[in-house]
Amino acid sequence: MAVATVLLPLVAGCGGGDDDANPGAKGTQATAGQQGGSKSADRGSGDFPDRGVIVTASCSVPASNPASVTVTGWDPTTWERTVSRTFTVPAEAVVAEADDVASPLVELCADNFPGVSTSEEGPRAVAATRLRQLFDKDFSRMAVVLIDRETEATGVGYVDSSGKLTRLSGEQSEDFGDTPKEENAVFAQDGSAVWFTETDSSDDVRIASRSVAGDHAVTEQAGGDGGYMDGANLALAGDPVRGLFGKEVRISPGGRKATAFITWRGYSVVDAPQRSALFKADGVKSTGIPLDADCYPYGWVDDVTVLCGPRRDEAKDPKRKNSFWTLDTSRLDGTADLPKGALGDPIIPATDRKNTVRAISPDGKQLIFASLQGTRLEFFVSAIAPGATPKKISAGGADRALSVGDVLEWR
């Protein structure tokens, strides 16, 4: 991954709940009822830079027009738009929870329907891996789950920024059998295939991919019992690519490890297997994050270090209230006790503000976070180091970039 050469002063100057009952409380904070993108942006023109850009995605679901997704690149030194593309969501694509079909697009568009009020929790946390993987590397195509409203059969495909829909699933068989149920469509970053899951009537899950080439060939990758996997999603890791089906999966930069919420175990660090797999307590090698770490994993600083925030609304340690810290996963030994030296000291001072990580720099040295004080929302940049002093981002463009939708990538 390319490393953005952005210096902290330049950026700054220019600019929960019970583990088993409420996974993702910090990761699903929503900014609702707002539309991203702008008609003045260079829609569809130019390429997304390989480095020095923060990429955001926002969804608009008007009352009478087709839903659309706008992906925008922002210069993190000036907070000006560098490029923007808008994808028109096909009418047959799954975009709402009401369809009861799993798709990252549903999460991206959550709370953007007319009449939905803005959350008091502030912007969403930095996006989980699956949201980034809605798109290929160049953000030229977006994966979608398609539904037949009559039979409720689902398949996969993709749409490009011109609005062209390509179906990758074949027509439903005329044979008497189960209704096809393909979900969780994500893109291989090289653009070669769309990956998905398929669940049968026995609750068995199959992880597979469909080539975007003319033959749309299907390659089955793995499968298993999908019991206790409600709320799981698909993310891709490594080279060769494999699919990892789990809850709140965040892949490390090198693709060898991941954090995930595993039922009966809570937030855990998983060694990414060499083949596609279901992230279950009895299905993969994982190490639970000790409760003493009080860690909700926002993402990876490097291949062994996780950036944490309080797992619950109130941190156990008053010095960590609404702060962030790091966890050295290489020190975890599988016991319930937190190993000495595994937990870093607080990064920002403890406050009564509600703080949410919005982006982690590609070199793992900086973070951008949203800070909600009453109803006032501000954005700060901080070094990822104990005792850092946050610096407010004053550029007006930062508000447009960071207050709506999801931050997909800082590269």
Question: Is 381 contained in some domain?
Answer: yes
Q: What are the φ and ψ backbone dihedral angles of 11, each rounded to 5 degrees?
A: -65, -45
Question: Is 166 contained in some domain?
Answer: yes
- Return the pLDDT at 223: 72
Q: Contact, 147 vs 92, CB < 8 A?
A: yes
Q: What are the φ and ψ backbone dihedral angles of 250, each rounded to 5 degrees?
A: -125, 120
Q: Which whole number is the average pLDDT over 200-213?
A: 89
In tens, the pLDDT along 86-139 reads 999 999 999 998 788 999 999 999 877 655 444 556 678 999 999 999 999 999
- Return the pLDDT at 171: 60
CATH number of 56's domain: 2.130.10
Q: Contact, 377 vs 122, CB < 8 A?
A: yes
Q: What are the φ and ψ backbone dihedral angles of 12, each rounded to 5 degrees?
A: -65, -40
Global pTM? Answer: 0.86
Strand 257-262, strand 266-271: pairing: antiparallel
Q: How far apart are CA 270 and CA 257, in angstroms?
A: 6
User: What pLDDT band is residue 166 in, cutting at 50, 70 and 90?
Assistant: very high
In tens, the pLDDT along 359-392 reads 999 999 999 999 999 989 999 999 999 999 999 9
In the chain, the number of structural domains is 1
Question: Is 203 contained in some domain?
Answer: yes
Please identify which residue in the block is written with the tokens 């953005």: 4
User: What pLDDT band is residue 1 in, cutting at 50, 70 and 90?
Assistant: very low
Q: Which whole number is the average pLDDT over 185-195?
A: 96
Which neighbouring-strand residues pair with 58? 70
Q: Which whole number is the average pLDDT over 197-212?
A: 90
What range does the domain containing 267 cover? 8-410
Question: Is 76 contained in some domain?
Answer: yes
